[in-house]
Amino acid sequence: MNITVENKKWLEDFNLSHPLVIAGPCSAETEEQVLKIAHELKNSDVSIFRAGIWKPRTRPGGFEGVGAIGLKWLQKAKAETGLLMATEVANATHVKLALEHDIDVLWIGARTTVNPFAVQEIADALAGTDKIVLVKNPVNPDLALWIGGVERLFNAGITKLGVIHRGFSTYEKSKYRNIPEWQIAIELQSRFPDLPLICDPSHITGQRDMIQEVSQQALDLNYDGLIIESHYDPDHAWSDAAQQVTPTVLKQIFEDLKVKKITTEDDAFNAKMIKLRAKIDIADATLLETLGKRMKISEQIGALKKEKNIAVLQNKRWNEILGKMILDGEEKGLSEEFILRLFKAIHQESISHQEKVINK
């Protein structure tokens, strides 16, 4: 299946000299709140105003959104500020109401993308519209499911498509609310280069003081846009209070962000890059060589264990290796998180090499 979004055409039609920015509160709370934030965001880099009307909450009892009445507030905000309006839709009724209120951008939330029935229902309800539709990644790190969501919309004839990377949930706590797993979004970007890719640093980080850093990372990776939650009184927001920033802070974030160009004509720069890339290629080749050698040693260990009927997995030894590597890694400026991931992967590969020998 080929998703062909004509050269990011809908995005180019915005004619921006910077990445696309969608901003606004996590949830629409009152008419005054919607209008006040929209006015504070107009005349900035923001092109599209976001506000959730129907809020999927993990546990019942929280604020579940103001419902359809909020669509009227968005219409009013659009009339007063000229900003385009965006909201989340999770079923055919939401789509019908959003279309009736002429909402410009509809996004499918992370908890909906996981459900092909729901996405198909939304795609069917959207068939024939020329609205911009953005698909958030599913909560679980499943690229096929994310692509599948986009395909369902594409098959329904929706051409103004894009994706939002909002990170993935994990059982173990990390410094992120939803870990980015950048490689998944990058894989999507390289498979579908014409599909605009937007980063949602608010839901990735879950905390406002990390928004700048993650937004910059996204821009460094050539993302096409950002969707950032903004509220004039973040601490008293009815949902996602910890991650929202005031419109003033948001404007400062835009000032501080550095937009990178993909290429340059500067010959000296290009010559230096070629040299550095050659060095990286050599370092990568050495890494692979070393890993290959390490696996051969694992196979010899496997053969020895087989002779003596010893178990493959030796937890004590493994924990010792890991502890040492974390310390050594730290000295080389490598984070504990990276060392853990790297060595878990190496260990896994090592075990399968040993098992191959043992079960021969």
Residues that bind ligand PEP (CB under 6 A): 26, 52, 56, 109-111, 136, 166, 203
Q: Give phi and psi for 8, each to the nearest 5.
A: 50, 35
Q: What is the smallest separation between the CB atom of 142 and ligand PEP, expressed in angstroms?
A: 15
Q: What is the smallest separation between the CB atom of 27 and ligand PEP, expressed in angstroms?
A: 7
Residue 236 or 324 with smaller CB distance to ligand PEP: 236
Residue 29 or 240 with smaller CB distance to Mn ion: 240
Q: Which partner, ligand PEP, Mn ion, none, binds residue 135 by CB below 5 to 8 Å per kind?
A: none
**DSSP class per residue in 11-59:** HHTT--SS-EEEEE-SB---HHHHHHHHHHHTTSS--EEE-BSS---SS
List the beta strands (DSSP E) in 69-203.
Answer: 84-88, 105-108, 132-136, 161-165, 197-199
Q: Which partner, ligand PEP, Mn ion, none, binds residue 94 by CB below 5 to 8 Å per kind?
A: none
Residue with tokens 């984070």: 335
Residue 108 or 147 with smaller CB distance to Mn ion: 108
Q: Which partner, ligand PEP, Mn ion, none, binds residue 110 by CB below 5 to 8 Å per kind?
A: ligand PEP
Residue 141 or 329 with smaller CB distance to ligand PEP: 141
> Can you tell me the distance from the alpha carbon of 23 to that of 228, in angstroms, rounded to the nearest whole number?
5
Q: Is-contact 140 169, C-beta < 8 A?
A: yes
Give me 111's structure tokens.
């908890």
Residues of this chain that bind Mn ion (CB under 5 A): 26, 240
Q: What is the smallest separation between the CB atom of 283 and ligand PEP, expressed in angstroms?
A: 36
Q: Is-contact 8 223, C-beta < 8 A?
A: no
Q: Is-contact 84 95, C-beta < 8 A?
A: no
Q: What is the smallest separation between the CB atom of 56 and ligand PEP, expressed in angstroms?
A: 6
Residue 152 or 203 with smaller CB distance to Mn ion: 203
Q: Which partner, Mn ion, ligand PEP, none, binds residue 67 by CB below 5 to 8 Å per kind?
A: none
Residue 108 or 339 with smaller CB distance to ligand PEP: 108
Handedness of CA 266, 198, 200, 188 (dihedral sign): negative
Give me 63's structure tokens.
């604020």
Residue 115 or 347 with smaller CB distance to ligand PEP: 115
Q: What is the smallest separation between the CB atom of 159 and ligand PEP, expressed in angstroms?
A: 23
Residue 90 or 97 with smaller CB distance to ligand PEP: 90
Question: Which position's Cβ is nearest ligand PEP?
Answer: 109
Q: Which partner, ligand PEP, Mn ion, none, binds residue 45 by CB below 5 to 8 Å per kind?
A: none
Q: Which partner, ligand PEP, Mn ion, none, binds residue 136 by CB below 5 to 8 Å per kind?
A: ligand PEP
Written as one letter, the residue type at 353 is: H
Q: What is the smallest separation between the CB atom of 276 and ligand PEP, expressed in angstroms?
A: 36
Q: H/E/C letters for each residue in 141-161?
A: CCHHHHHHHHHHHHHCCCCCE
Q: Which partner, Mn ion, ligand PEP, none, binds residue 166 by CB below 5 to 8 Å per kind?
A: ligand PEP
> Can you tell me the distance from the alpha carbon of 337 to that of 341, in angstroms, rounded to the nearest whole number?
6
Judge residue 115's burial from the number of C-beta atoms within 10 Å of its C-beta, 0-12 exposed, 13-18 middle, 19 or more buried.
Answer: middle
Give me 124's structure tokens.
């069917």
Q: What one-character DSSP code corresponds to residue 359? A: T
Q: What is the smallest separation between the CB atom of 229 and Mn ion, expressed in angstroms?
A: 6
Q: What is the smallest separation between the CB atom of 113 and ligand PEP, expressed in angstroms?
A: 8
